[in-house]
A and B are shown apart, each in its own frame.
Chain A
């Protein structure tokens, strides 16, 4: 039995190490670009540390470019979208999981259909609409659009997770005198922590990495979010690759930190095991 477990553990490690290497290699390449002098995207050499490696790009990013402003702008937008996503998806998902009502199937399919149109085609009408609503050059406009982009997945995902939580929990809460709302937010909401983490990560990432809508809507450089800022390093045939790569790596750090922080609830394994019967 123990030998079996040992073999399983070794195989697990081999597989994980292999995939971690595959996951890391291109990222390491990006790091190499970021410390390579003279803006070269490619190289004929495969060495990780290039000749004349320099951290000048990182320095340049923080001193001569409004990088921190972009980080700040993106953080605000992403934070609001995350909160909106979690609040709206957790409630809507609950309604779709727990109640039988007319229009339920229709709502669920409706949410899905919004993702089916190629996004480039929606840009012109969306822009015209935002002009009419006076939401050009404002965060409110893109926050609403991002929330709408993130919601379908988040709602479906929350609904799927609620489905795995037994109904008996609310029933006993109701017998103990909780209202329907209390039964939801006191009992079920905390139990859905792993799904809330996914919802939060997804909403955050939607806002953190979106470019097309932001490029059309935000015209004031002081409002630029990170993807817009990064894109400004790029031009037809002469891109500042070093800066771009350095910024790309720094941009992924907050995502990783958020993931590490939220992981506690994603993998605790305690949430449901003890109460399910």
Chain B
């Protein structure tokens, strides 16, 4: 939801509250994917908002999990007949969502100053594109493109798939990705880039957006959410339906996603009539018209389609045109698996790693596999007994091996009581917060909790663990995680300690350096991580500029190939993490008595001798805990990998174990599997922790 949409909705809610004193409505906004996972957690926990608003494809998972109410008995048939058919979201024979907007449809947006008449066919598109793609300022680099768009993302590729006569699913929700249409569409995109050269070599959403906003692109394929921002950026833009593909005689057809309201299954029955009343208010023709006029969205009430206020609006007409030439976004949960299966193979074609034929085949196989995983329904009553027996034996073994310590604990309690009292408050908080989630997770890891068993999961034994180790990618990403963690920590520590030593020399100005150097730690990670992603851009990024201008090397395709993308992620995280180690090292250096250095100077020791025999041994007690925890945190640091690689791009190669489990398990609601995966990660780190601490003797005192 765009900010303007939020504001209009808030205005309408305020109006409703004024009309109905005593009713309080809170609008809580979250970004789509975040809202979904947050809502699922809340709804499973028996809570959550009464109404949930969003694109229609969330209906599939929500209905499968039974966390929203069927609506066919809430609203009368007569009331529902006022709505566009596309706005009534049904699934498995029930109505689950009532949409107030139709949208998210991609269209061709063109810069009227560069493209006076928009192309009607792909041939015209290429022709116009060729004319516009050129080097305007004469520096030998192309700086104006005919067409730009986020073509690396499957959603933005769908119009061409449909244009060549393909689609993603058949009526039985089986993927239909391995088709000649897919191959032709993939070839078409590759040709636009390599043969006709009318699109940039690398374009994600933000790059495409900025090129169009800066007037450096004649056309962009983008959705209804973006149009007003082009006007604000001073672009004289028009919109037009996507072109006809001459080969098939079909229009390039985007997906259309209605957006609307569902009711939480946890919503109080007594509140239901009020909820219904509010919905009818927000869905009334007047309110829908108000919204449509203010934020240029497309209403779902049929009576508005003839309203002169709308039919006189060029944007509305073209938008309606494109919606009529649109296919409804499938709402089945299978769609998540399809997107996840399309992305890697699609990007591999663009990266030149595989042929379109291979990609089509791979997409199909992946999609079938992922759907099987998504719908997995495993029950094993024997597994339960095995788990209980093993658990029972483990408790007995634990008691047996710790019997001496337990006895000593009670015997010496009084003598040690001062230490226990000092420790107690911290321990209470830790146990209170961690114990329950920890045990819950262990139990989940031996369960079958997944889309098929969200509310009625049972213990099935070590099935999920077997699946974790049977996953070939587990080993690949385990190795990557080790490289990731090792490289990061080495750089963090070496840079951190070096900088701390230099700052600690207390030269004039060292206070300023000290303060400036902690900035990477102080600034919110999200935006700098994305800034780094921009800096790694092939054409416009600062890093390639430095490489080309100052090091006279050829530019690097950072984000397009797996090895470079992984390096980019690591570099970003090194930058983010060194200040923290520097602060720790700075603190640690204070514990070293100056006399030691003075004595060493008298003995004529060289700087590296002092470093080796005084500094390093004496900062060790403080650095070891920081390094240990640094390894653990880095191992599980999903954020930076996710943001810089845009969730694992290219082709889902840039992953570490946690980002992989998030994408392959958590996103497909395989909670049992994800829990088992997490326990495996936990055990790996536990093994590391025990070995590392034993070897560095960090739990023992040095005096």
CB distance from A113 to the nearest CB of B (A): 6
Q: Cβ of A39 and Cβ of B44 under 8 Å apart?
A: no
Closest to B30 in A: A215
Minimum CB–CB distance for A199 against chain B, Å = 9
State which residues 54-95 of A face B: CB under 8 Å.
Answer: 84, 87-89, 91-92, 94-95
Asked if B307 is an interface residue, CB under 8 A from chain A, the answer is no
Contacts of A273 in B (CB 8 A): 592-595
Is A38 in contact with B422, judged by CB distance below 8 angstroms?
A: no
Q: Which residue of B lies closest to A165 (CB)?
A: B591
Whole-angstrom CA separation of A231 from B584 in the bound complex = 30
Total residues of chain B contacting the partner, CB 8 A? 143
| Contact in complex: B499, A209 (CB < 8 Å) | no
- Once the chains are docked, how many angstroms separate the CA of A128 from the CA of B214? 48
Q: Chain B residues near A41: list those with CB within 8 A.
A: 206, 210, 530-531, 534
Those of A232-277 within 8 Å (CB) of chain B: 232-238, 240, 244-245, 248-249, 251-252, 255-256, 259-260, 263, 266-269, 271-273, 276
By a CB distance below 8 angstroms, the chain B residues around A102 are: 405, 408-409, 412, 416
Distance of A94 Cα from B424 Cα, bound (Å): 12
- Min Cβ gap B339→A in Å is 14
Distance of A12 Cα from B607 Cα, bound (Å): 14
Is the CB of A175 closer than 8 A to any CB of chain B? Answer: no
Contacts of A221 in B (CB 8 A): 26-28
What's the interface size class on A, roughly?
35 or more
Segment at the interface with A among B31-39, B62-70, B121-129, B244-252: B31-39
Nearest chain B CB to A71 CB, angstrom units: 13
**What residues on B are CB-neighbors of A16 within 8 Å?**
499, 502-503, 510, 513, 517
Q: Are A94 and B422 in contact (CB under 8 A)?
A: yes
Of all chain B residues, which has the CB nearest A128? Answer: B45
Q: Measured between alpha carbons, how far is A40 from B211 in the docked complex, in Å?
A: 10
Which residues does A use to contact B, with CB under 8 Å? 9, 12-13, 15-17, 19-20, 22-27, 29-30, 33, 37-44, 46, 84, 87-89, 91-92, 94-99, 101-129, 131, 136, 144-145, 147-148, 151-153, 155-157, 159-161, 163-167, 180-181, 194-195, 197-198, 201, 205, 209, 215-216, 219-221, 227, 230-238, 240, 244-245, 248-249, 251-252, 255-256, 259-260, 263, 266-269, 271-273, 276
Give B residues with C-beta under 8 Å from A: 1-3, 26-34, 38, 41-42, 44-47, 49, 143, 205-207, 209-211, 213-214, 216, 223, 225-226, 229, 232-233, 405, 408-409, 412, 416, 418-420, 422-423, 425-427, 429-430, 432-434, 436-438, 440-441, 495, 498-499, 502-507, 510-511, 513-528, 530-532, 534-535, 537, 539-540, 542, 545, 575, 579, 583-584, 586-595, 618, 621-626, 628-629, 632-633, 636, 638, 658, 661-662, 666, 671, 674-675, 678, 681-682, 685-686, 689-690, 693, 698-699, 701-703
Pairs across A and B, CB under 8 Å, 29 listed: A15-B502, A20-B517, A87-B425, A88-B425, A103-B409, A112-B628, A113-B686, A113-B689, A114-B430, A114-B438, A116-B632, A118-B658, A125-B441, A131-B47, A144-B432, A148-B430, A157-B625, A160-B588, A163-B702, A164-B702, A231-B30, A236-B32, A238-B226, A251-B524, A252-B523, A256-B518, A263-B514, A266-B586, A269-B589
Known: A41-B210, A161-B621, A269-B590. 17 other contacts (CB 8 A): A20-B516, A38-B229, A40-B213, A44-B214, A92-B422, A95-B418, A114-B438, A117-B678, A156-B629, A157-B622, A160-B621, A205-B522, A215-B34, A221-B28, A237-B226, A256-B522, A266-B583
